[in-house]
Amino acid sequence: MMGPTTDGASVQPLHSPRRSERAELYDPMTAAKVDAGETPSAPGDRRERPGWVSQRLSGTRTRIFAVFALLAAASTALSLVLLHQILLARLDEEITRNLTQEVSEFRRLVSGNDPVTGEPFGTDVRRIFDVYFARNVPHEEEIVLAAVGPRLYKAARGGEDEYVPGEVLRAIALESPLEGPGSGTIETSTGSARYLSVPVSAGGRTLATFAVAIFPEDDRAEIVDAITAAAQVWGVVLLLAFVVAWVGAGRVLAPLRLLRDTARSITERDLRGRIAVSGSDEVAQLAQTFNEMLDRLEAGFGAQRRFLDDASHELKTPITIVRGHLELLSDEPEERRETVALLTDELDRMSRIVNDLLVLAKAEQPDFLQVEVVDVEALTAELHAKVSALERREWHLESTGRGTIRADRQRLTQAVVQLAQNAAKYTEDDDPIAVGTFVADGEARLWIRDSGPGVPPEEQDEIFERFARGSRGRRLEGAGLGLSIVQAIARAHGGRVELHSRTGAGATFTLVVPVGGPRGEPR
C-alpha cells in the first residue's frame, strides 16, 4: 500500500529483486508488517496490545491533532467574541447616527419658516413641535419627546413598543437639566435607552426642550441570536474539521510509520529493505535520505564481510604452512635452518598483512593524518631518492612541482613508495620508471609511471579493493592491500587516485590531493 502525503508524495517499501525469500509488505494505515499473501491484522487487534492507548495518546498524531484542535477552537472563540463586539460597535454607531439625524432635522425646522404663513416661527415653540411631529415618523424602537418648560407637550414612538413618554422625559431630566443639551444612557421600566436632548432658546432664555431616545434591547437580542447561530454552525464545522484533521494527520504520518517499521526490519544480515519514493516534499526527502543511509550501510557491511572473509583466507594459508612445518620439524641442523627461515618468512608476511590492516583501520580515524605545510619541490627530491633505492630499475625524475601544500608528508611518502613498489613488481631489471609531481588549479599531483604490462580495463576498478589481485588473479608478492592503502591515504586528504593504463603499454598511478588540505580540516 502507498501512504499519500500532503502534496502527493508517497513512500512504500521496496525490496531488492535478488531477495529470494518472501517479500515483506507494509500497510501504512496500520504500520504493521505482514508476509506477502497474508491479511494484515485488524485495527482492533492492535488495541489489545499493552499500553496501546497510552501510546496513542502520547503519539505524534495525537499531538498534531491536539495542537490543531486547540488553535481551531481558540480562533473560533476569538472570532465569535470579535464578531459580537464589532456588531455591538456598529449598533452604537447606528444609534448615534439616528439620534444626530433627528436633532439635525429639528434644528433645520427651528431655523426655517412656518409652511402655512411663510414667516419665521419666532418664539412659537408649540407651532414648531406641531409641524415637526406632523412631518416626521419615528423609527422603530425610537421615541421623540417635546417639552415646554418642565411639562411634556407631545411625544411620538415608533413600532408597537409601549414606551411611557413621561417616564422617559423624567429619566432624561434626572440625567441632565432640560435647560441645556444632554446625551447619555437612561434606565426605564421598558429597558435602557440612549438619548440626545437639545433646548429651544429665544431671547437668551430656554423656551422648550426637544429629546430623542432609542431603545436598542431588541437589536442587541438579535445580535446575540446571530452569534449563537454562528457558534452552532461553526461548532459543526469544527467537528467536521477535527475528523478531517485526524484522518489527514494519520495519512501524513503513515509514511513515517512505514519508515519506522522498515528501520525495525533492517538487520545486520539483511540491509536490502528500501522505501519507494515519489514526490519532492519533506517526507519524500526524508525517505530518500533514509534509503541513501541504507545504501551506505549495506555497502559498508558488505565490504566488512568481504574484508573479514578475505583476511581470514589470507591469514589461514601462512598459519597452515607454519603449523605443517612445525609438525614435521626435523632434528637435522641444516633442514631445521631452512624450516626456520621459511617460517620466519611466513610470519613476516603475516606481520605485513596485520600492519596493512591496521593502517586501513586507522584511515577511518580522525588522527590518521598529521597535517603540515609541505614544500612540493623538496618532497619530490626526497621521494625520488627513496624509490631509487627500492629495486634495480631505471628511476628518473620526470617533473618537479613548485609551491607548498597542506598535507601529511609521511602519508604521502608512504603512498608514493607503495606505488613505486607496485611498479617494481611488474617490471624487470633496468626497466624505466618515472617519478613526477605537479601543482596547478588548487591540486597537487604525484605520480609513478611504469613500463610494465599495464592493467586491463576490466580490472582497473577492482585492483583498488582489499586483497585484490591483478592479471586475472595472479599476484607476485604481498597481500593485495597496497593500492587500498594508497586510496585510503588519498581519500583522507580529500583527494583521489587516478589510473591511466593500456594493456601492454604500462600504467600511470597519480595521487591527487587538494593544495589547501583535507576537507573540514580546522584552519
DSSP designation for 158? B
Average pLDDT over residues 461-483: 60
Tell me how far apart the alpha carbons of residues 139 and 55 are, in angstroms, rounded to a whole number. 64
**Is residue 476, in this structure, part of any structural domain at all?**
yes
Specify the CATH number for the domain of residue 391: 3.30.565.10
**Is-contact 361 481, C-beta < 8 A?**
no
Tell which residue, 137, 102, 141, has the closest CA to residue 219: 141
**Is residue 224, in this structure, part of any structural domain at all?**
no
pLDDT value of position 310:
63
**Is-contact 493 445, C-beta < 8 A?**
no
**Is residue 1, in this structure, part of any structural domain at all?**
no
Tell which residue, 381, 453, 445, 385, has the closest CA to residue 423: 453
* Domain span holding position 417: 363-514
Residue percentage of the chain with pLDDT more than 90? 31
pLDDT value of position 515:
93
pLDDT value of position 17:
40
Name the domain boundary from 177, 196, 215: 215
Name the domain boundary from 162, 196, 215: 215
68 phi, psi to nearest 5 deg: -60, -45
pLDDT value of position 16:
41
Grid cell, residue 507, equals 600504467
**Is-contact 288 61, C-beta < 8 A?**
no
Q: Is the pLDDT of residue 196 over 80?
A: yes
Tell which residue, 462, 477, 359, 472, has the closest CA to residue 424: 477
517 phi, psi to nearest 5 deg: 100, 175
* Element holding 310 (H helix, E strand): helix 282-327
Average pLDDT over residues 179-208: 87
Beta-carbon contacts of residue 25 (< 8 Å; ≥ 6 apart): 1, 13, 33, 34, 35, 36
**Is residue 323, in this structure, part of any structural domain at all?**
no
Specify the CATH number for the domain of residue 196: 3.30.450
DSSP letters along 36-78, please?
TTSPPPPHHHHTTSTTHHHHHHTSHHHHHHHHHHHHHHHHHHH
Summarised one tens digit per residue, pLDDT across range 401-410 is 999 999 999 9
Mean pLDDT of the chain: 79
**Is residue 444, in this structure, part of any structural domain at all?**
yes
The structural domain count of the chain equals: 2
* Element holding 30 (H helix, E strand): none
Q: Is the pLDDT of residue 34 over 70?
A: no
**Is residue 36, in this structure, part of any structural domain at all?**
no
Cα→Cα distances 258→4, 29, 229, 379, 493, Å = 12, 9, 44, 55, 39
Name the domain boundary from 215, 242, 264: 215
pTM of the model: 0.47
**Is-contact 372 410, C-beta < 8 A?**
no
Beta-carbon contacts of residue 371 (< 8 Å; ≥ 6 apart): 406, 407, 408, 517, 518, 521
- Give the number of other Cβ atoms within 10 Å of residue 33's Cβ: 17
441: left (phi over 0), alpha (psi -120 to 50) or beta: left
pLDDT value of position 485:
85
In 178-281, which residue ranges form alpha helices assigned H by DSSP? 217-265
| Separation of CA 152 from chain center | 77
pLDDT value of position 55:
53
**Is-contact 248 254, C-beta < 8 A?**
no
**Is-contact 36 283, C-beta < 8 A?**
no
**Is residue 132, in this structure, part of any structural domain at all?**
yes
Tell me how far apart the alpha carbons of residues 210 and 214 are, in angstroms, rounded to a whole number. 14
pLDDT value of position 36:
36
Summarised one tens digit per residue, pLDDT across range 239-271 is 999 999 888 888 877 777 777 777 777 766 677
Q: Is the pLDDT of residue 347 over 70?
A: yes
**Is residue 423, in this structure, part of any structural domain at all?**
yes
Q: Strand, coil or helix: what is 132?
A: helix
